[in-house]
Structure 1
Amino acid sequence: MRKLISVVTPVHGPSIPYLADSYESLRAQEMPDGWSWEWLVQEDGRTGDVEAALPQDSRVLGATGKAGGPGVARNMAMARSRGSLLRVLDADDQLTPGALAREIEVLSSRPDIGWTTSSVLDLMPDGSTVSWQHADPAGGRLDRAEVLSYFHDNGYRLPVHPATLCIRRDLSLALGGWMALPGGEDTGLLLAASVVADGYFIDEPGLLYRKHPGQITAQADWTATAEWQLRMQLIESRAIALRSLLLPSAA
């Protein structure tokens, strides 16, 4: 594939007003020599409201599809992608300056690394930014299964933010893309990737993670005990099964 990074964005109604800011953060990225980006914006549904809100830019590729949740929307966007790398960008978030260049530099120079994540700043409703309320790991390599161990030992919390994931497209395809879950599908892909390939943590902020009342993770049923527990158990079980297939002695 050519030197192209595919930015994947699923969208549902409440996030449409934030698309313009997401686009501006993407348009402002300074790309490494020979590299370009495409933005795969996938509506979770067929209203057409998302495509109507997109800018006139040949690099922006919108589409609609049968509603199935963010995991399905992400996978349908991946199906249209042409880049060797996939970068997550939720519709209400923004890239920081240099984010894509830093991720491309790691993945293009380190064939031993399958994916990257980065530090995050929370973007508050008043426009201010605050550090993510979580201790970041040290910058550098994240060894295989390191993320799974943390997830298991810390009440199904990740040591890194899944909304910053940049992953080799072939690796994502081999893992089946994002999990078909009502939430946590990005955690599922990150955890699965982490037991199959070493990752890399970039300790410079790569994302402004917007806090607003309409975001999915702000809804009351996001962490509803029974369903959330089942989702996390399934995410962990898949990662453990993958690890046991690759490293039978770890089962």
Structure 2
Amino acid sequence: MTRHLISLITPVHRDGVAHLADTHRSLISQDLPAGWEWEWLVQEDGDDVHAAEHIPPDPRIRIAQSRRGGPHVARTVALGRSMGSLIKTLDADDRLSAGALARDIAVMEQHPHIGWTTSAVLDLMPDGELLAFDGDPADGPIERGSVLAHWTTHRRPQVHPATMCARRTLVMALGGWMALPASGDTGLLLGLDALAVGWFISEPGLHYRQHAGQITTDARHSHGPEWEARMAVIGEHARALHALVTGPVPL
């Protein structure tokens, strides 16, 4: 494992591969601090995805295939192939904004007690317009338990899980992403919140693409028996971790 390596993890399924080239362009345009490199773990979720047809050959990019299990199972499989000391989420239909990785790395290097970061997001609309929204926390530390407190009240996290960057030790301690058909990234975020102080970066780090094919458009994403079950297990998982952790966790 290389100390100065950040691993970006991207699940992609057959119907979601169309935007992968745009995601790739946003990654290769990133400027990293001296001594840092990135690797991109693209995990094909199921058969007939053909991600390599959308990405030029690059030794920093490693594509693999696993049986269809949903995006969060695919992320965790890709985690097993990663080597970085930092783990970064990157969805196949989103774009990193300029400087996003450098800002994540800078926080982790300057604040050794910080376990994870998230950042502001701009919604990328179908016509290309970028839209901001209100409600973000202030730039700086997010004290342990803050994300759970907000989620308990609103049933949504106060920061966007699609922008997560975390220390490898924490992600591994949590077993990667929760194996859910949706909201597995929220489950990991609340787990990180239980174990370590986070940091919110107010400068937008992601262009979050809004389109008809994203899983959040499924009616079951935000209501119904499946939603209730997902929320129950995410909440109980986070509360159990908080109950177990009584002091700072060494990173």
TM range (shorter): over 0.9
The 8 Å contact of residues 141 and 200 in structure 1, kept in 2 or not, is answered as yes
Runs of 4+ in 1 over 6 A off after TM superposition: none
Whole-Å Cα distance in 2 between the matches of residues 25 and 51 of structure 1? 17
The 8 Å contact of residues 14 and 215 in structure 1, kept in 2 or not, is answered as no
Whole-Å Cα distance in 2 between the matches of residues 101 and 16 of structure 1? 26
**Post-superposition CA distance 1:67-116 (Å, at most 9, x none):** 11111100011100010001100000000000000000001221100000
Whole-Å Cα distance in 2 between the matches of residues 198 and 120 of structure 1? 20
**Post-superposition CA distance 1:186-213 (Å, at most 9, x none):** 0000001001100000000000000000
Tell which deviates more after alignment, 204-213 or 221-230. Answer: 221-230
Question: Please, what is the CA RMSD of the aligned residues?
Answer: 1.2
State the secondary structure of the residue aligned to 1:42. strand
Matched, 1:93 2:94: yes
Report the TM-score, using the length of structure 2 for normalisation: 0.95
Whole-Å Cα distance in 1 between the matches of residues 167 and 3 of structure 2? 13
Whole-Å Cα distance in 1 between the matches of residues 221 and 146 of structure 2? 26
Report the TM-score, using the length of structure 1 for normalisation: 0.95
Map of 2:170 onto structure 1: 171
1:237 positional shift: 0.4
Map of 1:151 onto structure 2: 151
1:57 positional shift: 1.2
Whole-Å Cα distance in 1 between the matches of residues 190 and 98 of structure 2? 27
The 8 Å contact of residues 96 and 207 in structure 2, kept in 1 or not, is answered as yes
Map of 2:129 onto structure 1: 128
1:151 positional shift: 0.6
Whole-Å Cα distance in 2 between the matches of residues 48 and 181 of structure 1? 21
Map of 1:162 onto structure 2: 161
Map of 1:116 onto structure 2: 117
Whole-Å Cα distance in 2 between the matches of residues 92 and 22 of structure 1? 6
Whole-Å Cα distance in 2 between the matches of residues 19 and 58 of structure 1? 17
Letter in 2 for 1:67: R
Whole-Å Cα distance in 2 between the matches of residues 125 and 60 of structure 1? 27
Whole-Å Cα distance in 1 between the matches of residues 193 and 245 of structure 2? 12
1:46 positional shift: 2.8
Q: Runs of 5+ in structure 2 lacking a partner?
A: none
Tell which deviates more after alignment, 217-226 or 78-87. Answer: 217-226
Letter in 1 for 2:132: S
Map of 1:142 onto structure 2: 142
State the secondary structure of the residue aligned to 2:220. coil
Q: Runs of 5+ in structure 1 lacking a partner?
A: none
Map of 1:191 onto structure 2: 190
1:53 positional shift: 2.5
Whole-Å Cα distance in 2 between the matches of residues 108 and 79 of structure 1? 24
State the secondary structure of the residue aligned to 1:62. strand
1:38 positional shift: 0.5
Map of 1:79 onto structure 2: 80
State the secondary structure of the residue aligned to 2:80. helix
**Post-superposition CA distance 1:11-32 (Å, at most 9, x none):** 0122211000000000000110
Whole-Å Cα distance in 2 between the matches of residues 48 and 13 of structure 1? 4
State the secondary structure of the residue aligned to 2:46. coil
